[in-house]
Structure 1
C-alpha cells in the first residue's frame, strides 16, 4: 500500500478503477491504515510465538523455548516479512488493489481499536513535537516535476518531454532573452515621403510594421498590412495619403524589461495582444517580442516541413567552420551549437565578445570564450557583425 505511486493511484481512481479508489481512501489516513495492519500483524506474531513456545516445551522441554524462538524467527522473517514485502514492493498494484478488499471491511470492523491505538500514538507524537500525521496531498516543486518528466523515459515521447521541460523553464527566461533587439527592428519613419513609405510596406518581411517619427523612441504604433490594404482599397490609390495610413495604426503594447516569459504569456492572453515593445526603466525601447517568440520557446521554431530549417544566422563553410551573425542571441546560439555560453549577462554573441574584450575588436581578432575559440571576421557600426568558429568535434 505504501509503495503505490500516488499520482498513478489518483489517476486510476479518477478513471473509475474500484481497487484504486479503495486504496486511495485507505491512504487518506495512513496512521489508521498502519495501525490496522500492525494490530493484525502483532496479534498474529504474538499468538504464533505463544503457540510455538508451548509446542517447543512439550516436544523438547526447556530447550524448546530456544528452538521455538529460532525456528519461528526464521519462519516469520522469510515467509511473513522479507519475501512478501519484497514482492509487494516490486508489484504494489497487483497486491494492493485486491488486498484493499480485505483491508476495507477490516478497517470498519476494528475501527474502535484502531481509533484508540491511533489516539494514544498520535498524542505521544504531538508531545514529541511531531504534527501532521494525516495524509497530505503530494505536491511537487518545478525542479521535482522536471525530474519526473526526465525520468518518464519511453512513457512520454522525447519531443513531448522537451516541450514540458520548456514550459517549466519559461519562468527562468525573460523577454530580453528572446526579443528582437532594437537595432534589428524593421520600422518605418512616418515622416518619410509617402511613396517611400508605401514601398517599404510593400517589401516588408512582416505583416505588422512599427511606425515612428524621426527617432525610434518616438513610436507611433503598429500597422497591419491587411488594414493598410483595406484602407487603400476603400479610399482609392489617388486619394490615399499619410492620414489614411495613420488611421490604420494600432495602439502599442509595452512590456517592462525583466518580465519572465511565463508571466508575459499570461499577459498577452489577458490583454488579447500578440506583439509588444520591450522598454527599460527609462522608457527607452530595447526590442520587440511576439507571442510566436514565446511559443517557439516551448515547441521550437515553426516550420511547414518535418525538418527544422538551418539557421539564417549560422552558415557552414566548405572547410567545416561556421560563419555566425554576431547579432544572434546566446540562447539560440547555444541551442544550435550545443555550447553553453553564459546567458546571465549580454544577450547576444556580439555583446558577449565586447564584454570579454572590453573594447571594439578589429577584424581578425581571436579570442577564447568559455573554452571555445572565436575569430572576429567583420566589424561595422561599432558592432561585431560576423564571427567564425570551429565547431566541436
Structure 2
C-alpha cells in the first residue's frame, strides 16, 4: 500500500465502513422482519417479500453469507486503518487505529444501522435482498464450507439444523398477538377473536340453561291446556316431556305448530308426530367442539347429559355464538342484567343462581370458575353446608352476605368487593 496515497486509503476506509453498515443492517433487518406479514406480502406477489422469504428458508446460509461479507470488510478496513495510522502517527499508529476504528465501526457500522434496521426491517431487508441474492451465488462455496463446519459443531451439542422453519403459535401466543395488534384491529373485533380462542376453555356446562330453568310442556296435560301453552310461548323450539324432564319426548318447532293450526290438524297426536328427535350433548364438551358438532349434525339445540345419562341442562347454537359476539339484543341498553342490582353503598344484590362466568364478565370480577358454575354452588362448596340467612363469608376479595335461602339453595346475596391497593392510593 506504499504506492497508494493517504487520500485514496481514507476514501477506501469510508467505503468499507459503509459496506460494513449495509451488511450489519441487513442481518438485523432480515432476522427481525415480521414473518407473518412477509408471508402475506409474498402471497400478494410482492417481489421483495418473495426474495426475502426464499432466503429466510435457510437462515444458516443467509447468516453465513452476511457474516463472511461483514468480516471480510471489517478486516480490510482494519488493515487500511492501521496503514494510515502508522503513516500519520508513527509508532502510536497501532493504538490509534485500534481504538479509533473500533469507535467508528461501533457507531457507524453496528449500532446505528442495526437500530434503524430493527425499527424499519422492511426498508432494509427488501433492497438488501437484491444485493444478497447474487452474492449468495458468488460466495456459495465459502458459505457452504462455513455452514458445514458450524452445523457440524452444532450436531456435537445435539442441535440439528432443520429445513422446516415454520413458526407455530400456541393459543396463548396468538392471544398476545391479538392484544398487541392495537389499532390495527378494532376493539370489537379483538374481543371476538379472543372469545373464539377462549371457546376451547369453556364447556357446555358453563353456558347451559340449568335443568331447573328449562321451559317445557308436559304432553300428559289436557290438550286444551297444552295447546294454549304451545300457542302462547315466546320460544321458537319447546321441549315436550312426560311428567318430568327426564322423560323428554323431543322438541317441537313453533313453525310446525302453526302449520298444523293452519291445516286444522292441531291435535295432540299430530303434534307428537311433528316432534323432532332429541340431540344429546355429553357434559364437559368444549364449546369449540360442540360448535363443530352442531354444524356437522345440522342441529341448533341439544340436551346436556352427565355420565349416567341424566339431563343436566340445555344448550343452543345461539348460546355458543353469544360467547363470541356477545348477547343478542334488539335494543341497545347499558343497564345491568336482571340478576344484578347496584346499591347506593356500592354493593350488589345478586341472584345466587347467576352463572359465575357471567358475573365475572359483566362486573370484571375474578371469582373462581374451576369448580361450581353458579354463585349458589360456590357458596355451598365453600361452607360445605346449606347456610341460614344473614350469614356473611369472604371468598377471595369478595364479601358475601346471604340474604335469602329457600328450597335448599341460596337465592339472593349482597356482594361487596374489597378495595384494591390502587384505590387506596
- TM-score range relative to shorter protein: over 0.9
Q: Which residue of 2 aligns with 1:199?
A: 228
Contact 2:397 2:417 in 1 (8 A): no
> In structure 2, how many angstroms separate the alpha carbons of the residues matched to 1:213 and 1:132?
67
Q: Structure 2 length normalisation: TM-score?
A: 0.86
- 1:376–1:67 Cα change, 3 Å: closer
Q: Which residue of 2 aligns with 1:26?
A: 55
> In structure 2, how many angstroms separate the alpha carbons of the residues matched to 1:344 and 1:310?
25
Shift of the alpha carbon at 1:67? 2.5
State the number of aligned residues: 390
Choose which of 223, 241, 244 in structure 1 pairs with 2:270. 244
Q: Which residue of 1 aligns with 2:31?
A: 2
Contact 1:374 1:387 in 2 (8 A): yes
Look up the SS of the partner of 1:164 in the other structure.
helix
Q: Which residue of 1 aligns with 2:375?
A: 349
Comparing 215-224 with 323-332, greater Cα deviation is found at 323-332
Q: Which residue of 2 aligns with 1:183?
A: 212
Comparing 119-128 with 4-13, greater Cα deviation is found at 119-128
- 1:71–1:316 Cα change, 3 Å: closer
> In structure 1, how many angstroms separate the alpha carbons of the residues matched to 2:390 and 2:228?
38
1:211 matched to 2:240:
yes
Shift of the alpha carbon at 1:190? 0.9
1:137 matched to 2:163:
no
- 1:191–1:19 Cα change, 3 Å: same
> In structure 2, how many angstroms separate the alpha carbons of the residues matched to 1:246 and 1:373?
50
Contact 2:237 2:251 in 1 (8 A): yes
1:266 matched to 2:264:
no
> In structure 1, how many angstroms separate the alpha carbons of the residues matched to 2:257 and 2:79?
96
Choose which of 93, 100, 106 in structure 2 pairs with 1:64. 93
Q: What do the CA deviations read for 1:250-273 (whole angstroms, capped 9, x no partner)? A: 011100001111111111111111
> In structure 1, how many angstroms separate the alpha carbons of the residues matched to 2:395 and 2:85?
80
Q: What do the CA deviations read for 1:277-307 (whole angstroms, capped 9, x no partner)? A: 0000000000001111111111111112344
> In structure 1, how many angstroms separate the alpha carbons of the residues matched to 2:78 and 2:344?
83
Q: Gaps spanning 5+ residues in structure 2: where?
A: 1-29, 420-425
1:115 matched to 2:141:
no
Choose which of 379, 402, 405 in structure 2 pairs with 1:376. 402
Choose which of 74, 79, 94 in structure 1 pairs with 2:103. 74
State how 1:38-187 maps to structure 2 within 5 Å: 38-134=67-163, 136-187=165-216
Contact 1:322 1:391 in 2 (8 A): no
Contact 1:364 1:376 in 2 (8 A): yes
Please identify runs of 4+ aligned residues in structure 1 that moved more than 6 A.
none
> In structure 2, how many angstroms separate the alpha carbons of the residues matched to 1:329 and 1:129?
51
Look up the SS of the partner of 2:31 in the other structure.
coil
Shift of the alpha carbon at 1:127? 2.6
Q: Which residue of 1 aligns with 2:281?
A: 255
Shift of the alpha carbon at 1:308? 5.2
> In structure 2, how many angstroms separate the alpha carbons of the residues matched to 1:386 and 1:291?
30
Q: Structure 1 length normalisation: TM-score?
A: 0.93
State how 1:253-332 maps to structure 2 within 5 Å: 253-307=279-333, 310-317=336-343, 321-332=347-358
> In structure 2, how many angstroms separate the alpha carbons of the residues matched to 1:341 and 1:310?
18
Q: What do the CA deviations read for 1:153-197 (whole angstroms, capped 9, x no partner)? A: 222111111111111111111111110000010011111111111
Contact 1:30 1:134 in 2 (8 A): no
Comparing 277-286 with 190-199, greater Cα deviation is found at 190-199
Look up the SS of the partner of 1:389 in the other structure.
strand
Q: Which residue of 1 aligns with 2:16?
A: none
Look up the SS of the partner of 1:97 in the other structure.
helix
> In structure 1, how many angstroms separate the alpha carbons of the residues matched to 2:81 and 2:392?
85
Shift of the alpha carbon at 1:320? 5.5
Q: Which residue of 1 aligns with 2:18?
A: none
> In structure 2, how many angstroms separate the alpha carbons of the residues matched to 1:54 and 1:317?
84
Q: Which residue of 1 aligns with 2:13?
A: none
Contact 2:399 2:417 in 1 (8 A): no
